[in-house]
Structure 1
Amino acid sequence: MNKWLFLFTCSIFTASAFAQEQSLRELYAKPQHDWPAIISSKDVPAAPLKPLKAKPINQSDEIIALGEKLFNDTRLSRDNTVSCASCHESRLAFSDRRKLAVGIDGQVGTRNTQAIIGIDHWQSFFWDGRAKTAAQQALMPIENPIEMGSSVELVLNKINRAEDYKKPILNAFGKEALNKELLALSLVAFERTFDVPESLFTRFIDKAQTSPSEAVALLDDQQLEGLHLFRTKARCMTCHEGALLSDNEFHVTGLHFYGRKLQDLGRFDATQDSADIGKFRTPSLLALQQSTPWMHHGGFQSLLGIVNFYNAGGARPKPRKKFKDDPNYPQTTELLHKLELSKDEKNALIAFLETL
């Protein structure tokens, strides 16, 4: 090729790329309602991105302090070795960075510990949604034979007899002893004080509410392209929407291992409805970096693995042998599609996910 023609062609290519870059940056420098339309696989519009704000806390400082003491107390377990904080560490967005949760006697559970984020925004709790309220959730680990292996009655007997609890209980409730309801209320009061860890994304989405041009300046070009892909071609907001970055729903992504050694029936465990076999609650993506590894089985330790998984349209296992005609064999949700993201697009999407 002629040298000058080559240089001319390169300059056109560079100018075109620059124009596209500028166009994308200009689009996201506008108020969010003027951003490119969200693309998802659902019929209903996805909720726009916005800061996660806790609802006003209506419990006293004394109740919150009591909840903090209880949350960190190993006496809530049968053998006084495990507390709520054992699996929910404050430095890790109240998760534990283990593949699977570990309880009393070193017993390993079957699911990954979820971060405690925005408890007022969830419609259910646990990967299978077996708790409908935060108060229900707070007490369940106490009686789980793998987690704390005790009972609420035994825990109340221990706490109410302990000298170091007499004053905190009196200060919090004007009573000499806790009951089941007050135990749950105290734990939840403390959990409601947990803030989403500050990240580049939280700074960006906060600033986007008042000054979009300043907000978009916080992201480099690759992160900005990743945000755009998250909202459009990659269809991430099909399930990861709104302030919580979760749709509060349950889906089959294909990671149920039905009929195999690692089988996990998901939401079925809570509902006993065969239609729920293999479904898991959509986790929040907030504090993503602190809550690795990911998925209900903790099987993903890299964002590239996650992106490749969804780029392929999720897992679509085929029933084998005796399960070939099983009417209950879980079918991967139709919300997942092959995305055909290029290598550069996958890298951009990862760059955005790393801001969370």
Structure 2
Amino acid sequence: MKPRIHALAMGTLWVALLGVGLSVVAAQALAPLRDLWSPSELQVLASMHIREAGPRPQDPSNAYESNPHAARLGEALFNDVRLSRNGRVSCASCHSASGQFEDGKRLGEGLARGTRRTMPLPGASHTPFLFWDGRKDSLWSQALGPMEDPAEHGGNRAKFARIIQEHYAHDYRRAFGELPALGTLPDASPLGSPAEKAAWAAMPEPTRDRVNRVFANMGKAIAAYESRISYGPSRFDRYVEATLARDGQAQAVFSPQDVRGLRVFLGKGQCVSCHNGPLMTDHAFHNTGVPPLDPTRPDRGRADGLRKLLADPFNCLGPYSDAKPPQCGELNFLSSDDPGSLAAFRTPSLRNVAARAPYMHAGQFATLEDVLRHYAESPRAVLGHSELARPGEKHAERQTITLGDRDIADLAAFLRTLDGPVNQPR
């Protein structure tokens, strides 16, 4: 498989940094390059610099994402434990600002323990599909899911609308305009307990629609806040800058082992085929034979996520989206019967990866070295078909990954150079 590269054919970053390098050369002689790279490798390295992520893309389904009033409301909602059944769980419970906006646990925990790992929030606004299975297609819609999930917040949308009425009416008006008339609302939701479902069914349709609108706007406010969370530059980015500027002395930010690991990453390890671009992810879904937690009930991943996404009233094509149908291109062309989606999971960003063990969608591997050994061993998938080529197997898109102990140690060393700061809204 050829890497999906985000470069600009020697990109603006390449030109800018090379220009900086030449101007410095004119002023003083730089140390010769310690590490030499081919033109094609330099192009890939340039495409992976964090600056190439650029400003967050505007989500057409959320007209309020750039609204500072919405972002301030979203930050308050993100940290509000009242948005849970027991009054002790907030978005920040699993997405801690002090821990890369994730929880460091094998499985997410809210009211109960979930079945998958919490994904970090930095850079999430750049991906077209959210969660490990891609069951949401926007940051605002993603924010709504945990609120009514019985294992996470366990709340109901009518109660959330009451909380907005009672505690956030002024902030809501500043962001979205007047609150709709809701009257006295019972605890009600189409996804709640039997009593909540019955109360929702008994509610007049116009009231249900107004509650849904307030609920959707809560998600849009939280997304306005979350979209301002991003990754900062790492030691890897400084190495790329030094290399493109032809500054051999500054290349010393990488050890020889780091450099060897990067060469394996770009070459025989085939890592860059999925982990490319400035966030080091292709934003796609892959079955790589990761063992399920329960072999008798393997996680179907993207196959079930697609079904949920297409049926979601809060997707890009739904009545609460601010997008026009032609702006929902990703959703318009999805196939719900793709056999490759079975047990496939989203490629996570590798930014700050060393700081967020354990790994994979259910924390199956404790260390980076465990992950790399998995790819070198290329086990058969318990469910679906692994994309990894096995020894002696003819594969249309991949070659067998052959890594020795030194390769694994070098790759792990390189991955640790990707740690950098997390930029938070001010």
TM-score when normalising by structure 2: 0.66
Provide the residue aligned with 2:403 in structure 1.
Answer: 341
Provide the residue aligned with 2:331 in structure 1.
Answer: none
Provide the residue aligned with 1:66 in structure 2.
Answer: 73
C-alpha contact (below 8 Å) 2:33/2:243 kept by paired residues:
no
- Given the superposition, is the C-alpha separation of residues 99 and 283 from structure 1 closer, same or farther in structure 2, using an over 3 Å criterion? same
1:296 and 2:350 matched: no
Structure 1 residue 151, shift from structure 2 partner: 2.2
Helix, strand or coil: the match of 2:230?
A: coil
Provide the residue aligned with 1:124 in structure 2.
Answer: 129
Provide the residue aligned with 1:86 in structure 2.
Answer: 93
Aligned length: 310
Deviations 1:248-292 (A, max 9, x none): 111111125498245211112123547122111111111212322
Deviations 1:171-216 (A, max 9, x none): 4345357823321221011101112155322443455565664653
1:172 and 2:171 matched: no
Structure 1 stretches of 4+ with a deviation exceeding 6 A read none
1:112 and 2:117 matched: yes
1:55 and 2:71 matched: no
CA RMSD of aligned residues (A): 2.9
Structure 2 distance, partners of 1:190, 1:350, is 33
Structure 1 distance, partners of 2:244, 2:172, is 41
C-alpha contact (below 8 Å) 1:258/1:265 kept by paired residues:
no
C-alpha contact (below 8 Å) 2:57/2:126 kept by paired residues:
no
C-alpha contact (below 8 Å) 1:60/1:172 kept by paired residues:
yes
C-alpha contact (below 8 Å) 2:57/2:125 kept by paired residues:
no
Provide the residue aligned with 1:42 in structure 2.
Answer: none
C-alpha contact (below 8 Å) 1:256/1:265 kept by paired residues:
no
- Give 1:1-356 correspondences, 5 Å limit: 25-28=34-37, 33-35=39-41, 48-51=47-50, 52-55=53-56, 59-104=66-111, 107-162=112-167, 165-176=168-179, 179-205=214-240, 213=248, 216-255=251-290, 257=292, 260-261=295-296, 263-272=298-307, 273=337, 275=339, 276-313=341-378, 315-317=379-381, 329-334=383-388, 337-356=399-418
- Given the superposition, is the C-alpha separation of residues 61 and 78 from structure 1 closer, same or farther in structure 2, using an over 3 Å criterion? same
Structure 1 distance, partners of 2:82, 2:231, is 28
Helix, strand or coil: the match of 2:353?
A: coil
Structure 2 distance, partners of 1:35, 1:274, is 33
One-letter identity of the residue aligned with 2:285: F
Structure 1 distance, partners of 2:33, 2:400, is 24
Structure 2 distance, partners of 1:208, 1:186, is 41
Structure 1 gap segments, 5+ residues each: 1-21, 39-45, 319-328
Structure 1 residue 144, shift from structure 2 partner: 1.2
TM-score when normalising by structure 1: 0.78
- Given the superposition, is the C-alpha separation of residues 91 and 224 from structure 1 closer, same or farther in structure 2, using an over 3 Å criterion? same
Helix, strand or coil: the match of 1:140?
A: helix
Structure 2 gap segments, 5+ residues each: 1-30, 59-64, 181-212, 308-336, 389-396, 419-426
